[in-house]
């Protein structure tokens, strides 16, 4: 939803009042996957505007973080399972530390996190610290 709103200003102008309904409709469009397991990366790639690819980040979080440009989705979770998806809104040009401005849908807020947070598995995104995968624009 937020990625589509960023990509399509006309949609963004009308989506506000229907936000909750649109989110549920988007979840229903996920194909052949148990909802209990969350949304798989390949489905996020299909649902985001424009062509996207899945970049594995487990075991190499720095490389995954570097792939997370604006319009990317980051899959984060525990040490054993990916559990949550956040959207990369923008790089932070002020620090030069590989920071990213993220949208965390569980909090409904924008948060700033750095490359070092990803590499050290300290992302603290709605309780999840480990970067598992990045769905990045091609």
Could you tell me if residue 28 is inside a domain?
A: no
The pLDDT tens digits of the residues spanning 89-126 come to: 998 767 777 899 999 999 989 999 999 999 999 999 99
Does the residue 70 lie in any domain? yes
3 Cβ contact list (under 8 Å, min separation 6)? 48, 49, 71, 73, 87
- 16 in a structural domain: no
Residue 7 domain-assigned (yes or no): no
- DSSP assigned state of 36: G
pLDDT for 124 equals 97
Q: What is the extent of the structural domain holding 112?
A: 37-137
How many domains does the structure of the chain reveal?
1
Question: Cα–Cα distance between 58 and 131 in angstroms, integer?
Answer: 6
**Taking CA 66 as the corner, what is the angle to CA 62 and CA 67, rounded to the nearest 5 degrees?**
120
Task: Give the pLDDT band of residue 77 (cuts 50, 70, 90).
Answer: very high
């Amino acid at each position: 939803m937020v990625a589509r709103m960023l990509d399509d200003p006309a949609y963004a102008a009308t989506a506000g009042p229907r936000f909750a309904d649109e989110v549920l409709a988007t979840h229903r469009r996920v194909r052949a996957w148990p909802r209990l397991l969350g949304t798989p990366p390949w489905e996020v790639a299909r649902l985001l505007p424009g062509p996207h690819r899945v970049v594995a980040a487990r075991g190499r979080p720095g490389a995954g973080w570097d792939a997370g440009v604006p319009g990317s989705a980051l899959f984060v979770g525990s040490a054993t399972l990916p559990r949550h998806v956040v959207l990369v809104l923008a790089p932070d040009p002020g620090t030069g530390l590989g920071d990213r401005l993220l949208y965390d849908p569980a909090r409904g807020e924008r948060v700033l996190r750095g490359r070092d947070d990803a590499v050290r598995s300290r992302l603290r995104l709605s309780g999840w610290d480990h970067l598992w995968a990045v769905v990045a624009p091609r």
